[in-house]
Amino acid sequence: MSLLILESSPEPSWSLQLVELQGQCFHPPWTKQQIDQQLAGKRGFNFAWQIDDQLVGYVFYQLLFEQAEIIQIAIQPKFQKQGLAAQLISQSCDYLQQREIEKVLLEVRESNRAAIALYTKLGFVVDGIRSNYYPANGQSKTREHAKLYSLVLAPL
């Protein structure tokens, strides 16, 4: 398994694989156009796990000065619960730290217990709540809060 840095002009198959992975992990998924915009963005940093030329997971970041925000992370369902998301975040944070990024930010649905456990394990701390941020999902008719997390990256 290798960590890839997805550049602004990635291999054409990458965006198609990202679209497919989106469909497996998110409802509604991003469109190919949205993925291509993320990959081409000047402030984006994008990382992926690859096994035998197949993308099995990714994390998208947006950079703003000395901070990076995790925009989205996904691991193929058959590869979940194997520690790949933790490795992906850890290794991508190491890369960002080398580029003098000081802090990583993210937001997560309050009901996403697996993600919250992962972020807590990696050292992220709660910074706040965005009330009624996420639209209702299938199980609830009310909007859901977003928990805001951050991780300070130690200077090298």
Model confidence at 139, in pLDDT bands (50, 70, 90)? low
Mention every residue, 6+ apart, whose C-beta is less than 8 A from residue 116.
108, 147
**What one-character DSSP code corresponds to residue 41?**
-
Q: pTM value?
A: 0.89
pLDDT at 44 (0 to 100): 87
Range of the domain at 37: 2-152
Number of domains composing the chain: 1
pLDDT at 138 (0 to 100): 65
Name the residue with higher pLDDT: 155 or 117: 117
110-126 pLDDT, tens digit per residue, is 999 999 999 999 999 99
- Cα gap 74→118, rounded to integer Å: 13
pLDDT at 7 (0 to 100): 62
The CATH number given to whatever domain includes residue 51 is 3.40.630.30
pLDDT at 148 (0 to 100): 98
**58, 107, 144, 149: which is the annotated catalytic residue?**
107
**119, 133, 144, 149: which is the annotated catalytic residue?**
119
Active site residue 119: yes
Neighbours of 124 (CB within 10 A): 22
Mean pLDDT for all residues in the chain: 89
Active site residue 133: no
pLDDT at 4 (0 to 100): 76
53-83 pLDDT, tens digit per residue, is 888 999 999 999 999 999 999 999 999 999 9
- Cα gap 60→45, rounded to integer Å: 6
Q: Are 30 and 67 in contact (CB under 8 A)?
A: no
